[in-house]
Amino acid sequence: MPGFELFGDKEKKQVQEVLDSGVLMRYGFDGMRNGHWKARELEATLSQKMQVKHTHLVSSGTAALTVALASAGVGAGDEVIMPAFTFVASFESILALGAVPILVDVDDTLTLDPKAVEAAISEKTRVVMPVHMCGSMANLDALHAICTKHDLLLLEDACQAIGATYKGKPLGSIGDLGCFSFDYVKTITCGEGGAVITNNKTYYENAHKYSDHGHDHIGNDRGAEQHPFLGYNFRISELNAAVGLAQIERLDEFISIQKRNYTILREALSQIPKVVFRSIPDGGEENYSFLNFFLPTEKLAQRAHKSLGANGIDGCFYWFDNNWHYYRKWEHLIEPKSLGKLPQDVLDALPDYSKMDFSASDHWVGRNISCLIKLSWIENEIRERANKMVKAINQVI
């Protein structure tokens, strides 16, 4: 990742067809399109790739999470369980609907700890949202069993994990709903974009209506369409969908390249006795977009991360101190801060995260280094990088 590294003639051709038609909007203007419906084509391709009945494209991964939750009727006062290690979009999408994000610990998969999930369930819990961070997955069997036991929805945030599988099934297709992001730094990019996938027809019908101002999309006259409920504008454009249509056809190619590059780096780091790799649930296969490993202590991880940078190794992240991805720097949630007044029900229901104990997550995230796997690397470059990484880490341990 990211897919923009390998932009080429296929992407240019798809975009040019949209420009030639002059229709950049996914709905309407049927007579001008010259038969081109890029969003529809990408939705059909994604449904086939992800082995689901329904796909709806939206404007971003954040929009996908918001629309997915709304499509299942999640709203004011409902609680959604999510991990303390994710991207801020996870709790933003929940709060946007007046629901309440309930943060819980991650384990050595760097995703939701099923035991922590079980302990966090209350009478207000509606959804468990595992986030398949950095290209790998949560223990979906355990989470599915918990959701079945408590009659909860399982919503997979697979925004960073397209192409990964669990027991032969694509991530995102296993829960009641799944979400992808196609922003500029994802394995498959539309520039900006996202998708909701599901096998539930009701959720799909709600999703495509909700994301387009409540339009029911019945008939060929957009101005005559009905509005069965309130909606908003989370539409993707034909230009963005066109880029994604070219990219999705290259998904298998991209995953293969990432796996090759990941494997070379992992084999090299395996020579360091104190390096331990993230746990992958049995039956799971990553999409190889990141190589995640642990060092024995938080202090050693910090020193190793600095050493990697000092030795010219870019693209290695220490999420423990990251503003976007770990609860420790989410002051805007913890305080909480917003431009307008949040609903009182949300303020009353939000846990006091300044007093919450996430030491179990700190144990894993504080010792983790996460290295981006690029598509554009050539083999000699990767092997040189691997040698430099080994040297840089050995310098501090």
pLDDT band at 290 (very low <50, low <70, confident <90, very high): very high
- CA–CA separation, 213 and 201 (whole Å): 19
Work out the mean pLDDT of the chain and round it to a whole number.
97
Q: Are residues 70 and 178 in the same domain?
A: yes
Nearest to 173 by CA among 189, 154, 151, 201: 154
Domain count, the chain: 2
Question: Domain range holding 370?
Answer: 252-394
- Does residue 13 have an active-site annotation? no
- CA–CA separation, 387 and 397 (whole Å): 16
Average pLDDT on 181-208 reads 98
pTM beyond 0.85: the answer is: yes
Q: Give the active site residue among 186, 209, 337, 388.
A: 186
Q: Are residues 40 and 188 in the same domain?
A: yes
Q: Are residues 325 and 211 in the same domain?
A: no
**pLDDT at residue 40 greater than cutoff 90:** yes
For residue 237, the model assigns a pLDDT of 98
- CA–CA separation, 343 and 361 (whole Å): 29
Which of 122-136, 289-303, 333-347 is predicted with the least confidence, judged by mean pLDDT? 333-347
Q: Are residues 299 and 376 in the same domain?
A: yes
Average pLDDT on 120-128 reads 98
Given 219, 250, 281, the domain boundary residue is: 250
Q: What is the distance of C-alpha 277 from the center of its chain?
A: 21
Tokens at 91, concatenated: 């709790």
Q: Are residues 244 and 280 in the same domain?
A: no
For residue 29, the model assigns a pLDDT of 94
For residue 144, the model assigns a pLDDT of 98
Q: Are residues 80 and 10 in the same domain?
A: yes
Q: Are 81 and 94 in contact (CB under 8 A)?
A: no
For residue 1, the model assigns a pLDDT of 83
Q: Are residues 201 and 281 in the same domain?
A: no
Q: Are 227 and 213 in contact (CB under 8 A)?
A: yes
